[in-house]
Every structure is written in structure tokens, then in C-alpha cells.
Amino acid sequence: MGFNRFRLILGVRIFLLSVSLFGVMYLFLNTQLTITVVMVALLVIIQIVSLFIFVDKTNRLLNSFLQSIRYSDFTRTFQVENNDSSLDQLKKTFNEVISDFQSVRAEKEESYHYLQTVIQHIGIALIAFQKDGSVELINNATKKLFQVRNLRNIQALRDFSPDLVQNLLTIKHGENILVKIREKDDILQLSIYGTEFKIHNRNIILVSIKNIQHELEEKEMDSWQKLIRVLTHEIMNSITPISSLSSTVHLMMNDIIETIDSKNECTEEVENLREIQSALATIHKRTEGLIHFVNTYRNLTKIPNPSFSIFPVEQLLKNVYELHRQELAEKEVVCNVSVVPPSLELSADEKLIEQVLINLMTNSIQALTGKPEGCIELKAFLNKRGRITIQVIDNGPGILPEVLDKIFIPFFSTKTNGSGIGLSLSRQILRLHSGSINAFSVPDTETNFTLTF
């Protein structure tokens, strides 16, 4: 409406100016009224000046409005003098347009802040970056995963993992990559999914990164449990009848031998029967041993559900130390216990976690047998991701790299008389606590088992 009125006023002014110019020309050419011509000419000049001022004022007003639009300065307002002039109507229209822009901008800002809140709240790490590695966006999960406060370029993660940087810079649209990163006190299995899009002639790559180490361990343990249940079931179904029959036949043979002996009959036949009886005894003994073996591995599938309680970690480590004090003294192994902070508390099944630590301590003591200046460290602290961590560290012979990835597999053992169940059982217990157990070793220098909750 303001623009319509502006056009009307401008048209009226131009019409009056045209009429005045026509009057000046008519009076000058057809009459001798000099004074009247001069007065009409002055009126024309006044109209021209007034029109110039009107247009100039309008142009300045319009320029101010367009500058506000250009620089998104929607705080500016145009003062209305309430004299119902065309400029006031134009100012009102400008104010209404700016008010509409303010509403649209506020709505966009609300949507932006909403999106930012959602992105920062997501537990999966998100990174948006350009082809040269310049980072456009990261969320809190990314900062927590890589332990950074800010990230300007993907290359800054090279110290964390060169393989990770290489995969991020070469990932393609729709590609899914797995990257394994081994830290001293943790193992990360990162699942990376990338997508590419364009904004303002810039190619942006958005990747989501999730640590799936816990899920992989859980699936692995589930697979082993299923295999063990099937194997033990089938073995028990076959061995139990053999054990029962061998025991029964052994008793029957014993009765037959006693009967023959009482009659003082063929000695050679008795000797043959005794050999058969001895063989049956051997079969029975071996089947009993196999039954015991199978029942041992059934423990992997029969761990009781944890009974959670809150207890001080320092007391837990001291209990483990006291249980091994005598053995440590006999083998001249030094054991240092440290908890930082001393008030650190853990919510877990104390007996189950204690059993895990006892198993690790026993392994460390055995590894240090005969080693001069043997030392074991029991440590508890909050790791760089804020998770409670317990470590058992020794300076024994260590574990070879090709063996390190196999030590948690059921039935695998580097000891001649080992059952291969201790570390598998420990991982299963940690899994029930939604935690993890990992190993790091430098041969002849250090072996580090880390429990993370």
C-alpha cells in the first residue's frame, strides 16, 4: 500500500509540474503578462526542487532499506511521523518487511540451534570436512572419542592414528570402513561411514564414527558360547554312556575273575580277563577325565549374573595383594599398589572382579618365576575418557605380537599345562559388566592387562 501511494503522489507531482510548464510556455508565447510568467516560472522551479527533494529522500530511504537487507541488519527501523504522508506509508511498509525478515531469521536460528543441539547430543562421532581436510563441524562425541578440544583439520589426528587420517581423506560416498586402533590401555574398532554433498560450490564429506569394539567382543563371546554349548552337549552325550558301560563291565569282569579264582580254574584265562579289566579301567578313567574337562569348559556358559554393589577400588586391590603376599615373597617379586584418586569407587560384582584380578596376578607371578627384580603393579585410575580403569602390569618376558590377539580365545594357552579358560572367563565377566579387558605387551619389557569399566 505504501508503494502504491508513493506512485500516486509521484504521478500527481509530475502531472502538476507538466501543467505548470505548459502554462509558462503558453503565457510566454501568447500574452504580455510578464510578472505572471515570472511567478508561474518560479512555481515551476519550486515544484522541480520539491520533486528532487522528494525523490532524493525516497532514494535515501530505499537505499537504507536495501542496505539492511544486504547486510542482514534487521534491527533497523524507520521512524514514522504519523502525518499520513506517502513517505510515512513507505516507512511503514519497510518496517513490516523488516519485521517479516526478523521472523524468518528467528525461525532459521531456532532451527539451527535445534539442529546443533541434536548433533551435539548424538552419541556417535560426526565430522564434516572438505577435500583438503578442513573441518567444518564436529560434535561432542568426536571430541570425547579423540580427546580433542577443537579440530581444524583432519591431519591433526595423525598422531592419534595415521591409518584413520588416510581412510578419512580417501573415503568415498556411501563407503563403510573398519579401522582398528590399538592404544596402550585400550583397543578401538572404529566403524566409519561417509557421505558426500555440495554446499555453495563446496564439496563436504560427512562421516559418522562409532567404536564397535564392545559389540564385536560381545558377538565373539556369544559365538564361542554357542560353540562350547554344542560341543559339550555332543561330547557329554557320547562319553557319559561309555563311562557308565565301562564301569559296569569292569564290575562284571571283577565278579567273573573272582568266580574263576575261587574254582582254581584256567590261570591263563584269568590273566586275559585281568588284562581286559585293566583296559576297561583305563577307558573308564579316561572318560571320567574327559567329563571333568568338558565340565570345566561349561563354566564359560554358566557365569552367574553379577550382583552389583558400590565398593572402594583401593580395598579390592589390597585384598588381591594380601591373597598373594606369601607367594610374592617366596618368589621375591615386588608388588606396588596405587589408586588415583584414593577415594575411587566402582559399581560391580566385587567377587567376580576379584576373581579376574586373582587370575591376572597368578599369571604375572608365574611369568616372573626365576626373573631377577621381578615387579608387578596394581593400578587403578580414571582414563582419559573418564572411565574407571584397573591395570595389572609386570616386567616379565611378555607376549609375542602374533600371540597377543589369540590369548582371549577359549582353549588357547601358551602354557604347557594351561586350560585356556582363564582369560576367556575374565573377558566374559567384564562383558557382563559392560566393560572390556585388553592386553598390551612389549616382549622382555612389559605386559599390561587393562580392565576398563
Residues 180-222 pLDDT 10s: 887 766 778 888 999 988 887 888 899 999 887 767 666 666 6
Q: Is the pLDDT of residue 431 over 60?
A: yes
DSSP state of 264: T
Query: What pLDDT does residue 88 have?
Result: 72
3-state helix, strand, coil in the chain (%, to 5): 55, 20, 25
Residue 16, pLDDT > 90, answer: no
Size (the chain), residues: 453
pLDDT value at 170 more than 80: yes
Amino acid found at 448: N
CA 208 to chain centre: 9
pLDDT at 416: 56
pTM for the structure as a whole = 0.56
What pLDDT is stored for residue 303 in this prediction?
67
pLDDT tens sequence across 405-421 = 788 776 666 665 655 67
102 or 246, greater pLDDT = 102
pLDDT at 355: 87
Q: What is the pLDDT of residue 234?
A: 61
The SS3 of residue 307 is: coil
Lowest mean pLDDT among 182-191, 193-202, 367-376, 428-437: 182-191
- The residues spanned by each domain of the chain are 2-113, 122-211, 216-301, 309-452
Q: Give which of 133, 132, 126 is closest to 153, Cα–Cα.
A: 133
pLDDT digits (tens, 9 = 90+) for 74-127: 777 777 776 556 667 777 777 788 888 888 888 888 888 888 888 888 888 899
CATH level 2 (architecture), domain 309-452? 2-Layer Sandwich (3.30)
Would you say residue 238 has pLDDT above 70?
A: no
| Closest alpha carbon to 223 in 68, 428, 441 | 428
More confident residue, 21 or 78: 21
Specify burial of residue 59 (Cβ count, 10 A radius: 0-12, 13-18, 19+). Answer: exposed
Residue 237 has a pLDDT of 65
Query: Among residues 322, 315, 452, 308, which one has the least CA distance to residue 392?
Result: 452
Spell out the alpha helix ranges (H) of 134-212: 140-146, 162-170
331-363 pLDDT, tens per residue?
888 999 999 999 999 999 998 899 889 889 988
pLDDT at 391 over 90: yes
CA angle 16, 22, 28 (to 5 degrees): 135
- Model confidence band, residue 379 (pLDDT cutoffs 50, 70, 90): very high
Instruction: Identify any residues that bridge with 345 across adjacent strands, giving them in sequence order.
Output: 312
Mark out the alpha helices in 264-368 (DSSP H runs): 267-297, 313-330, 350-367
- pLDDT tens digit string along 306-328? 889 999 999 999 989 988 888 88
Of 106-115, 240-249, 308-317, 393-402, least confident by mean pLDDT is 240-249
Instruction: Say yes or no to pLDDT of 155 above 80.
Output: yes
Write the CATH number of the domain with boundaries 122-211: 3.30.450.20
Are 436 and 453 a contacting pair, CB within 8 Å?
Answer: no
Residue 388 near residue 380 (C-beta atoms within 8 A): yes
Q: Is the pLDDT of residue 264 over 90?
A: no
Q: Which pLDDT score, from 0 to 100, does residue 216 have? A: 66
Report the range out of 43-52, 111-120, 172-181 with the highest average pLDDT.
Answer: 172-181
Asked if the model's pLDDT at residue 383 lies above 80, the reply is yes
* pLDDT(136) > 60: yes
Strand order in the sheet with 176-182: 135-138, 125-130, 202-211, 187-199, 176-182
Q: Of 218, 226, 233, whose CA–CA distance to 408 is shortest?
A: 218
